[in-house]
Amino acid sequence: MNPSLLAGLNPEQSQAVTLPHRSALILAGAGSGKTRVLTTRIAHLISSGAVSPHGLLAVTFTNKAAKEMVTRLSAMLPINTRGMWIGTFHGLCNRMLRAHHREANLPQTFQILDSGDQLSAIKRVMKQLNVDPEKFIPRELQNFISGSKEQGLRAHEVEAYDPYTRRKIEVFAEYDAQCQREGVVDFSELLLRCYDLLSRNQQLREHYQERFKHILVDEFQDTNPLQYRWLKLLAGENNALFAVGDDDQSIYAFRGANVGNMQELLRDFHVENVIKLEQNYRSHGNILDAANALIANNRNRLGKNLWTAENGGEQLRVYEAPTDVEEAKFIVEEIQQLKREGVNLTEMALLYRSNAQSRVLEHALVSAGLSYRVYGGLRFFERQEIKHALAYLRLMENTDDDNALLRIINFPTRGIGARGIEQLQESARINNTTLWDAAARAGGKVSAFVALMETLRAGTRELPLPEIMEHVLHHSGLRANYESELATPAKKREAEERLENLNELINAATLFVHENEDDSLTAFLTHATLESGEHQAGDSDDALHLMTVHSAKGLEFHTVFITGLEEGLFPHQNSVDNGEVDEERRLMYVAITRARRRLYMTFAQSRMLHGKTNYSMVSSFMRELPEPLLLWLSPRFVQRAPSFSSPAYSGPAYGGATYGKASPAPFVMPSSASRDSGALWHVGQQVFHQKFGEGMVTDTEGSGNEGRVQVNFKRAGSKWLSLEYAKLEVI
């Protein structure tokens, strides 16, 4: 054994690295040095003679992680890492299929379809089978096929619930047959084909089981059912599976990840060694104490408690803003102050639960002249659904805009194919006219599109800007297009985000009208174009990071802002309704543990939704954080809202109620009070009732025993309660 390999490891890390030949689970907390442990384990096995460089297999989830592992290994040992089996699930399966293409019933030069090529192949099958693309959306079929394969299911193994599903299965089966004829595979097929190969070929399976005595897996909590089954096949009964993961950071259920694989590993491999890496090398103590207190509320955890040799550090800064605009303004001011203190923009991150939240933040950053980049996503005005909506608006304003017309003439799909568009372009060229003029002379489905645009223009002529947005989103079919995708499990999350972004476009128009004297559509479109191109930071520029919490996993920053901490937003209402609060809490845990030195948590009493003011309750996660760890930077502002009988009321949202414009009436909310203690009730107070649970005060009438209070409860809805018998407590 090479003693230098263990230098600098803490006792738990050293124990994990030097484990004997048996399966183990390394429960690696955030910032606990899991990559170092995994890489050092490989180096230890090789240097001690337990295995040759080619006798082990290490699986990661990204090519970047695999490359980093190889780089670190090269620095530890004087070995040639070329040819070692270190890579992603897809990469390793591709390698195995190449080596055994005949046994896998594939040509030696089989090609891999990317997402775009796969979609094109599915469209060809649909045309061959006369499948209506308006009834069966090609991208939905693509997700259906890939999702089935990731569950380990072939077409004949998918249950046909109804005629609609049976038709999709027919496309699935013919698509697979077409791929086989053409000698191509998609990404999902790589893993499934490799699993099938090992399942049915005992000689090959035993060969790899004999070769790979040690199998190491990174980010094990993110494995899906098929990936775990593949690992079990390779490991057999005698090999050691060394799995590194953190059940508290399992946040990808929507991609098929199964956190239950960790419990199954303990049972299937009779794991006696669960080593917990709890010492954190990233964050100050107060940040870790907050994360520990939060995640302790989750059920069925394997359990661990992060700690650090560092001091407690600063308290977590909490800011409650009266509105989402004021929340963004506060964040910008804090960023500017941090810059003056010497913290680079690139060391700061703004995290949000939903992509739609970025629009208000981006607007504030652009107004302040601060450079930023959206990590793992697009800036608000560059997102597909927003560009579609703006294209409708641009064509309404200027029918000579050929680019806008080409973008939406067949979106949502209306049966105008590529050939029809080519004919339109040829007609415009021959007659030296715009595409709109050519379309006005055309017939069939093109003329129906022209009629739609004329109807949109006529229907919005006298409307204010936010109502123009709402009218176009509804009558163009854009909103209905994404709503139709909600029924497809593989598309549901993406469709929800796109719908949220479209709703945020209405909010953008409302804010634009409020801030500018010119509320014309032309002015707004100019504003959108300028914001989409302003302050686009280059890769090497000092720029702030904006990202969803999902995108932030694996990253760390000096300062982190977690924004929009309101019930129904974070935790997201869809997750609450689906009983997935534990995963939302894990997501909050990930957000907190991204911060090294300073953490801000912000929320707003009111937020724009569909162009109207929405009153929200603070996230339930905030109440799970120990009060001594928090530093409140603001009094708790609320705004007087109209009663539920107001015509502006439009139903519950984000756990609160939606209202029209309200005049502010700020006051400092008491931190703890009850009717029995003589406290006064105020609109906006968050309260608790023994029978109805948590809610928010939305109206009051009278005082004393003769008065009553109206509360919108999260679960029980809106109720009027007598002050004499209400027995409410302020949260």
- Tell me which residues are annotated as active site: 34-35, 218-219, 249, 594
- Cα(115)–Cα(117) distance, rounded to whole angstroms? 6
**Residue 349, H or E segment:** strand 348-352
Residue 430's contacts (CB-CB under 8 Å, 6 or more residues apart) are none
**Per the structure block, which two tokens stand in for 556?**
């760390």
Residue 724, token pair as written in the block: 């004499």
Strand 630-632 relative to strand 240-245: parallel, antiparallel, unpaired? Answer: unpaired
**Residue type at 207 in one-letter notation:** H
Cα–Cα distance for residue pair 206/192, rounded to 1 Å = 18
- Enter the tokens of residue 92: 């390793």
Per the DSSP assignment, residues forming a β-bridge with 695 are 687, 713
DSSP states of 391-436: HHHHHHH-TT-HHHHHHHTTSS--S--HHHHHHHHHHHHHHT--HH
Q: How far apart are the first and last CA of the chain?
A: 58
Beta bridge partners of 566: 618
Long-range contacts (CB closer than 8 Å, 24 or more residues apart) made by 135-139: 136/167, 136/168, 136/171, 137/413, 137/484, 137/485, 139/491
What DSSP line would sit under 574-630, residue for residue?
HHHHTT-HHHHHHHHHHHHTTEEEEEEEEEEEEEEETTEEEE-PBPGGGGGS-GGGE
The C-alpha angle with vertex 366 and arms to 364 and 369, in degrees rounded to 5, equals 110
The answer to whether 168 and 141 are in contact (CB under 8 A) is yes
CA 677 – CA 675 distance, rounded (Å): 5
Q: Which of 178, 532, 522 is nearest to 387 (CA)?
A: 532
Within 32-108, residue ranges assigned H as helices are 34-47, 63-76, 89-99
Q: Is 49 left (phi over 0), alpha (psi -120 to 50) or beta?
A: left
Cis omega (within 30 of 0) for bond into 412:
yes
DSSP string, 252-268: -GGGT--TTHHHHHHHH
Q: Is the peptide bond before 571 cis (omega within 30 degrees of 0)?
A: yes
Task: Give the chain's radius of gyration (CA, Å).
Answer: 29
Instruction: Give the single-character DSSP code of 654.
Output: T
Which of 153, 190, 191 shows the shortest CA–CA distance to 172? 153
Query: Is-contact 693 714, C-beta < 8 A?
Result: yes
Rounded Cα distance between 357 and 718, Å, is: 27
Query: Quick one: 27 exposed, middle or buried, by C-beta within 10 A (0-12, 13-18, 19+)?
Result: buried
Calculated CA dihedral for residues 398, 400, 403, 408, nearest 10 degrees: 60
